[in-house]
Structure 1
């Protein structure tokens, strides 16, 4: 069974129709562009095969798609069609959708990021700056303030000592120090010897530190005496720097002058591995120097004059915090962590804060961002618009940057200067200098603008790989087919993204965070984004957990003000995402568990207690009590609480109509089905009522049913009736058709023709009504002829087509009343020596085959009456009402159940909703707002389609 959701059409969301036109002698069908602003489905591709060139159109839901997206989609469809016609045997996934110009844009144009990069190592950049500004302040810490000359000199003294111990290229030295000046000095000293440093945070678990040292095969550890308890059992040689200070002062303070090689290893950052084994990312000097070359193209010396260095050196953001200011003459302002900023003595010297969203959010809440901090770098997690707006409300914040990048691409890969005064969610921007970003499909081919794909990164920032893990390196660092260098590689990030038309990239979350719950493909990051925008919500993460029955359920973990209720969170989500994306449980936390790097520790999230949030709540008012009793009766339940959801309890469209009839008979005569969908709990419904809400086996023979009995609807009619109850007054299922007759009709004869047709066809005299047992249809003995004459002969010829269009639109966009009828209208537009007939019916009484038959009979009847003869038409032995009764009987038969079982099995693994890449968030309730883009399949393409289909022995469809 498919769970009912009002956000999309059930069963299918994308439709393809292929229609062949039938020409009538003496009658010409008028092609009218009615521009009906509706869309029954998310997307409908219609192709009309008529003549040498075929007309096509894309009808689309404007709540989901932008016009530019649909225009690209139509071009991609034609390109795909052409590719398949070129080689019909190939898989559909092989032909490219991109034109040469589009491919050039996404592969080359948006990746033209080259800037010059110095031929230098990381310490050489600092040495050059120390030579330029020796007396400028390089570092401020609680323990000391150092100038560039002092910092460089002390690093040189330690480097001489290490060099004397045999430390040099090819070696990896561990650094486990508190956040004091010795930490920066040690890192610089190791790099000056030509060795690489391995950062070790003393707050990390001992097992993690021991693994990193062993995996990197490090033989030497730089530490301090107050950290002897850390790695106390390690066999490594330990150097306690605080005990060496007197000795080091006697060593030379000049640069060592050793030969430099930017291609060698500079440092290793260990990141979490999916197998539980951390992996060491090896970064060369040239990658870090290329990164710093980009820094100088974006940030001014004033921006970097006081950079808060608060991130663990085990996290790659630390490279920016240390080397960005030291390579341009700025100052490192050291802090234990970002949240220590408000109490930092040098807080008013901080000009740039570089941290994760959760930390900057907390600083803003406590008023801890100093007025001197004009630039905010936000990285490491998805950035919410609400946080951006809060930060920009600080009068001194000049610029917020949203940065994205994995450690495997040297700290940052993209940058977005986040704009003010917009509701749009922040993008991750464009690739930084000397970086290439590709968004590719499963075959590693570029995807079109707007289409999600995996983010791949290439360029000078690409790191060397995983230390000692050639198999994993080969898996994640793959050949780059788009680079001029045949040896070039690119890193597959596992992140989903898509290009916007301007080249900006939208981050869509991790590929391994795209989950499937109850058949729906869900991006957990989308739920997190909506929750993060709820006022009072400070932090949130969404995960999937198994409930007591081992079914997958969405769980939201939320840090929020006490005033933010769980109901408020649910309501906020229901207003922005489909019902299947609303979490089954909400867990309130004082703070989200985090790793030492500041990222959310998903493994540390507690399991929810199932059932608490949805416990039974007894009715509190007479209305709630009456409603709860109605629900229990309709749903065959012993008890219904006021917070229980009708559809969660097993309610569906048929039971909803049954409940609606009971509601109208007892509590709310004017209540609508739409209101029930909008208020699916007893409490919400009671409130809505109080506010006056409205809202191939042999088949049995087809018998003729008695017209005196209650007449059932077919399943198709019932769906249409149900939708009309849900959206009263809609025009979605109007079926208009126009004919241009090559003569002027006689008004009296046409009226007599219509009268005869209404007597002949019961469907034109049928209306539809809600009853206690469900919807039923009634056939009236007569109905007034819904005929309208419009004289357009006085309209100037130049304006006549427009006048016809306006009349056609008027007919097509006027709704029907299913309960009162008639459900057919005819408009006769008189022209000079011609008449345009516009026949409009509701889909509940007609379909494509019926329309052809009725129009043929209408013309035959008119011709006979105009000639004074009786129309020669076959007798009507059965009408649609007979088919509806027959179908209902058959649907209850064993044969029908066999069909149902077969198709349930066939469709068991198919998703309930086709997850198209949309421009906008899907509304909670489908609005059916739409537009249509016409295009054509030219004669050459049509001829190739016909030739290919004939050769394959199949139809063009």
Structure 2
């Protein structure tokens, strides 16, 4: 391979790490303004035995800093001697390990010449890949004794370069930077961080690279102090008491103004006295009818003064108010009621009547003691609550209480509010607020933002959304006015701006979505608005510019917080257009979160060491620290422990000395000073001035076809298109249940001339469907946006569909209603295809590209409006199953034989056609080359990964046998993959045991949003696979986390708690995929294994059990060795075989990934780790009732055989073992590893084994019409059925496998299993049952499987009644329903 090709391969798809910058990147000349900052590095002047290469030392520091401030583990740097360094950094490395890695990489680079410019290389890549623009290969550099200009390269504009100057017998570091991007303050901080980091690393090279502090002496004062007193005891009183005081001080002052509706020509105004009196009546009614302090009262509400009255009435009664919006569907309303469990209910007359479904739920499920059915304040200030049977109003008897306070005492920790936020499985979480927070911040806000009693506030927030509390309580605290618009004013484009202008509103609270409604198609300015407070979502520069175009005197305040932080938020103020017309121009596209308000801190915490606050620029997780946090989630104690945490920077009772008891009546409702943090889950970093900016969120990071994608990044780029007004990108499942990127957007209707160029006619018969209308009418705009994005996004991050809409749906809270934005149905896509004129230009395509295009279009589910050579098979609507069909159609129509993996490697028309050209010109198939390419690396990769392991592991000793143990001891077992088929049985085997003197607790790793969702997933899997027992629940603790991350992404505290608790690790989780190459399976199957194994390196000694696969043996060497051993009378491949004879030759990515994992585990065993590698073959249905994973290869073969009516004559024996026995081997080896002083292998083999054709022919024995054919004839029959006649067959997704060389691919070496037998023998003492004789799959067992598949509807009933009757099996109805719905088709069952 030429050097040029080496570099092209090395630099494929580089991560262009960008140091956080202070100014917008220039979009026109000049792009750079070079500046230099220099500093001495005396630390490098001193000799270090371990660090002879001083350049590599400094380069290591730079790489570590880049990782800390970007989060990118793919480090790409232009370095000395015209080379590019690229490597993957690991957060757990010590500085020694980082230096060693970089030194090794530098030595490798020395052997690779770069006798060309990287501009030439980029142009070569552009030409080879036919890219629209020349790719940039790097943005950062680290040089040595080299004059360097940032614009030295034509195509690689460098942002920031470091040059180590050793020319004068000293070490001077020159920081060369683009001053159009970076401030002097930023550069000084980077220099200080470099110096500090270098000093710490050299003083102790064993330091972990992610745990060296980046807080410098000069920046410390800019950052929040997590030990500062935040006024924990400064309770200012309850908002309803403050309101009552105001009402008594100025009773005639206007409080609420409801502006006219279409049917009225005048406003309705209500004074502070009106609101106070009517709310007193409501409060006394609630108390007299049974509402107690702390009860929840649900308000079924409309937007208006009545809501204010009801809220104040509930608070005066000492109760907790919650709001339901009538806009929610009735079924959704019952969910909110179920979470809230209210004791009181108030229905506002203007909101209408409750739906009968809701009424039935209230009557059947709730215990309502107090109810007002039709509350409405009259224009004269009196209040009605609905008529009684005698004609009297329900509130009339309480009118005499209108000037009487209730006297109910509540305190700072009483709960005035119950607000809802999204939860798992569609069930919202109820957040209980605290009185401390409701009024605490208003006095500070009034001074900071000049808010007074003369201001006019607006009620624009969603009525069931917690910002509505700001709308109401802020003016009540100040004695100001609240203006209420009609729904028409809000919903009609342009009207809301007119309303703001007409009534002279001065202060408003908005979500970004509501802000877009305010400015949409608006032309009327509203100059009296002086402050707009934004909450609830990301605020963009575009949002601010549009608002200030209409409100030039408006200062915009971006407030960062959540429902859980209540009023405790941060703020960033944008100056008004009149104050500073250029202020926004200097800001980046997304407004920062800013700094905390009075006594609020945003703590950005180091993700690898939570005892550290992040330094300037470093990415960490945002925690909010304040005395005003909410109490927590109603009824979710475990989640509260995870999200509302005690401040670990101070002792728990540190602030008790501040609490002075002055006999306050509320003290009984005060829990004392609590220094708590709320864990937001957001990522952020500090700016040089101490402001915080958000950098995304974990759930904004999605994976599509193995690539990590930031949805926020996609949306940012789309929003920069000149004709995009609003946009949101989501992941939605398409018709084939594959996750797909889809963008929904609203165009700039205010630019009709520009927009008209991209509009097409829409046939009248389809224009009523907004999705179809948008896809047809604006397909040219979608195409233009895609062209726009190609210059900004990687191909895998391109949305598959861009749907243009008239407006994005909003939920009642004013946020985009994401559930309403779904992937178009096949019917909608077909309508689009039928009504769109194709605009494909044949001149763009070569002959082969044209053939590929036409072939793809013939099998894709919908025809796109236009196709270009750079379009991806997957972006055009393809998926893995269609890829199978495409490959076989290609073979049939174009006589080209390509492996299925080709489409994943070359997904575009151009690239795929080029591969066909290459194969044709070489006169052969690419199969050999692909195999060579993928088999060359896995063993080498495993050897390199071993270098990341700890030098030693604590070795665990055997457990004392149950009958010998004293006392009752709990064995704690950490298990992965518990929601899969085998994992579900492992869990059941563990928890189904009851040995004397031992009990088991399972720490079950589950991927889910929260613990509640995780447990639900685990339970559902157990029901699906027939293993669940309700008694298990008390002995299961779910562990959330990402196995591909260091410490699973857990905090140090949680990680060490787990490490110090667990006795056994069973790593069963894996991604099973028959097509994916090693590269795609490396993270889930290899890296995750290393991360799980790292749990065994710390804390108490543990046994480590790993579930591998006999796929690690699938080479010709082991097939031949097996035959030889069997001919000699031996049982088969020994468990002691080190597998080095399959270090090459494995052709499947799955087997390669398991081989790599085994190799690494064995090396850990040499370093002290004890346990076992369990190596099963095919894991089949449960022996008693056949419960199975219906997506299993062997079960698909049964169904496919029934559908085809034929089976292949293949004599191979199949290593099939029922799942319950495999689970027993796993658990037995985890408790009783076969070897005391080494980590051994236990192979699971069938006793007896069944021949493949006998397995399938069992169908005939039970009455199915199947006949045996030779394999060659069977192949033709299947191909004709599926490809030619388009007949349905369960083997369709596996055609590439079954039509290739099935007699070879179903071979299974005979296996020695003496270690498995030994562990099962020892296990007898734990179970009372000896399973050491093993078990296999007989024809009778296959009959049980067929019976199961019949019962769940996977197989049709037998066609002949004169054959063997199907065995009788027992399944629960819940299991049958779940499996029939497809639940049993998920998860991996076969380990082979």
TM superposition shift of 1:457: 0.4
**What secondary structure, in the 3-state scheme, does the structure 1 residue paired with 2:462 have?**
coil
Residue 92 (1) aligns with residue 217 (2): no
Distance 1:209 1:348 in 2: 34
Is the alpha carbon distance of 1:350 and 1:906 closer, same or farther for their aligned partners in structure 2, counting shifts above 3 Å? same
Contact between 2:460 and 2:484, CA under 8 Å: does it hold in 1? yes
The whole-number CA distance in structure 2 between the counterparts of 1:530 and 1:110 is 40
1:305, 1:329 within 8 Å by CA — same for their partners in 2? no
Which residue of structure 2 lines up, in the alignment, with residue 364 of structure 1? Answer: 519
- Aligned equivalent of 1:629, options 838, 846, 864: 846
2:314 aligned with 1:190: yes
What aligned pairs does 1:353-392 form with structure 2 within 5 A after superposition? 353-367=508-522, 370-392=526-548
TM-aligned CA deviation for residue 102 of structure 1? 3.7
Check conservation: 2:525, 2:551, Cα contact below 8 A.
no
CA positional deviation for 1:599: 1.6
Answer yes or no: is 1:173 the counterpart of 2:329.
Answer: no
In structure 2, distance between residues paired with 1:499 and 1:417: 16
Say if 2:789 is the partner of 1:573: yes
Query: In 2, Cα distance between the equivalents of 1:513 and 1:97?
Result: 26
Greater mean alpha carbon deviation, residues 496-505 or residues 456-465: 496-505
Map of 1:488 onto structure 2: 675
CA contact (8 A) 1:122 1:288 kept: yes
The Cα offsets for residues 350-398 of structure 1, whole Å up to 9 and x where unpaired, read as 2223222222222222436645434322222222222221221125542
1:339 aligns with 2:491: yes
Q: Quick one: distance in 1 between partners of 2:508 and 2:183?
A: 37
Partner residue of 1:76?
193
2:674 paired with 1:524: no
- Offset from partner CA, 1:713-760 (integer Å, 9 cap, x none): xxxxxxxxxxxxxxxxxxxxxxxxxxxxxxxxxxxxxxxxxxxxxxxx
Is the 1:307–1:325 Cα contact (8 Å) retained in structure 2? yes
TM-superposed deviation, 1:409 = 0.7
- Kept after mapping to 1: 8 A contact 2:295/2:344: no
1:13 to 76, 90, 95: 76
**Within 5 Å, which residues of 2 pair with 1:378-777?**
378-394=534-550, 396-411=552-567, 413-419=569-575, 420=577, 421=582, 422-423=584-585, 424-425=588-589, 426-442=591-607, 443-444=609-610, 445-482=612-649, 486=654, 487-545=674-732, 552-560=739-747, 561=749, 563=756, 565-608=781-824, 625=843, 627-629=844-846, 632=849, 643-646=867-870, 648=872
Note the C-alpha offset of 1:896. Answer: 7.8
Pick one of 359, 372, 392 that aligns with 1:239.
372
**What CA distance in whole angstroms lies between the structure 1 residues aligned with 2:739 and 2:682?**
23
Residues 596 and 603 (structure 1), Cα distance of their counterparts in 2 relative to 1, 3 Å cut:
same
- Structure 2 CA distance, aligned partners of 1:380 and 1:408? 12
**Pairs aligned (count):** 669
Per the TM alignment, residue 333 of structure 1 is displaced from its structure 2 partner at its CA by 1.4
Find the aligned partners of 2:179 and 2:706 in 1 and give their Cα distance: 25
Indicate conservation of the 8 Å contact 1:306/1:331, yes or no: yes
CA drift of 1:238 comes to 1.7
Output the CA distance in 2 between the equivalents of 1:301 and 1:49: 59
Say what the alpha-carbon RMSD is for the aligned residues. 4.6
Instruction: Report if aligned partners of 1:290, 1:434 keep a CA contact under 8 Å in 2.
Output: no
Question: What are the ranges of 5 or more consecutive residues in structure 2 without an aligned counterpart?
Answer: 1-8, 18-72, 78-84, 87-101, 111-142, 260-266, 376-383, 387-393, 655-673, 750-754, 759-780, 858-864, 875-907, 911-916, 919-927, 942-1076, 1084-1392
Change (3 A) 1:245 1:642: closer
Alpha carbons of structure 1 residues 202 and 165: separation in structure 2 relative to 1, 3 Å: same
Question: Is this contact kept in 2: 1:290–1:460, CA < 8 A?
Answer: no
Query: Counterpart in 1 of 2:326?
Result: 202
1:133 corresponds in structure 2 to: 250
Tell me how far 1:323 sits from its aligned partner.
0.8
CA distance in structure 2 between the partners assigned to 1:403 and 1:92 by the alignment: 34
Who is 2:475 aligned against?
325
Partner SS for 1:189: helix
Contact 1:348/1:371, CA 8 A, preserved across alignment? no
- Residue deviations 1:544-601, cap 9 Å, x none? 2456777654321112245461133224434544554332321222332332212223
Residues 619 and 628, structure 1, Cα contact 8 Å, conserved in 2: no
Partners of 1:140 and 1:897 in 2: how far apart? Answer: 72
Distance (whole Å) between structure 1 residues aligned to residue 499 and residue 689 of structure 2: 41
Verify the 8 A CA contact 1:304 1:352 in the aligned structure 2. no
1:298 aligns to what? 448
Contact 1:440 1:454 (C-alpha < 8 Å) held by counterparts: yes
Give the 3 Å change call, closer, same or farther, for CA 681–370 of structure 1 in structure 2: farther
TM-score, structure 1 as length reference = 0.61
Q: Secondary structure at the match of 1:198?
A: strand
Secondary structure at the residue paired with 2:416? strand
Q: How many angstroms apart in 2 are the aligned matches of 1:2 and 1:497?
A: 31
Contact kept, 8 Å, 2:501 with 2:528, in 1: the verdict is no
User: Distance in 2 between the 1:635 and 1:54 partners?
Assistant: 58
- Superposed displacement of residue 80, structure 1: 3.9
Q: Aligned partners of 2:839, 2:294: CA distance in 1, in Å?
A: 72
List gaps (5 residues or longer) in structure 1: 23-29, 651-679, 683-771, 774-890, 912-957
**TM-fit CA distance, 1:500:** 1.5
Which structure has the bigger radius of gyration? 1
Q: Where does residue 721 of structure 1 map in the other structure?
A: none
d(CA) in 1 for partners of 2:162, 2:271: 69
Structure-2 separation of matches of 1:427 and 1:892: 50
Is the CA contact 2:733–2:739 (under 8 Å) kept in the aligned structure 1? yes
TM-score (norm 2): 0.43
The CA distance in 2 between the partners of 1:254 and 1:556, in whole Å, is 56
- Structure 1 residue 97: Cα displacement: 2.8
In 1: Cα distance, 2:192 partner to 2:443 partner: 40
* Residues 219 and 346 of structure 1, relative CA distance in 2, 3 Å threshold: farther
Checking the alignment, whether the CA contact within 8 Å between 1:449 and 1:501 is kept in structure 2 is yes
SS of 1:593's equivalent in the other structure is coil
Over 3 Å counting, the alpha-carbon distance change for 1:303 and 1:589 in structure 2 is farther
Task: Give the CA deviation at 1:269.
Answer: 0.6
For residues 837 and 10 of structure 2, the distance between their equivalents in structure 1, rounded to whole angstroms, comes to: 26
The structure with the largest helix share of the pair is 2
- Superimposed CA distance per residue, residues 145-175 of structure 1 (whole angstroms, 9 cap, x where no aligned partner): 2111222122223323333334342322222
C-alpha distance in 1 between matches for 2:724 and 2:273: 47
Q: 1:166 to 1:511 in 2, by over 3 A?
A: same
CA distance in 2 between partners of 1:70 and 1:513 (Å) = 30
- 1:606 aligned counterpart, secondary structure: coil
Distance 1:258 1:552, change over 3 A: closer
Aligned to 1:828: none
Does the 8 A contact of 1:5 with 1:580 survive in 2? no
Deviations 1:663-693 (A, max 9, x none): xxxxxxxxxxxxxxxxx999xxxxxxxxxxx
Relative distance call for 1:78 and 1:309 in structure 2 (3 A) is same
| 2:345 matched residue in structure 1 | 221
Q: Separation in 1 of the partners of 2:15 and 2:179?
A: 14
Aligned-residue offset at 1:453: 2.0
| Cα pair 1:111 1:437 within 8 Å, conserved | no
Report the 3-state secondary structure (helix = DSSP H, G, I; strand = E; otherwise coil) of the residue aligned with 2:248. Answer: helix
The answer to which of 298-307 and 130-139 deviates more is 298-307
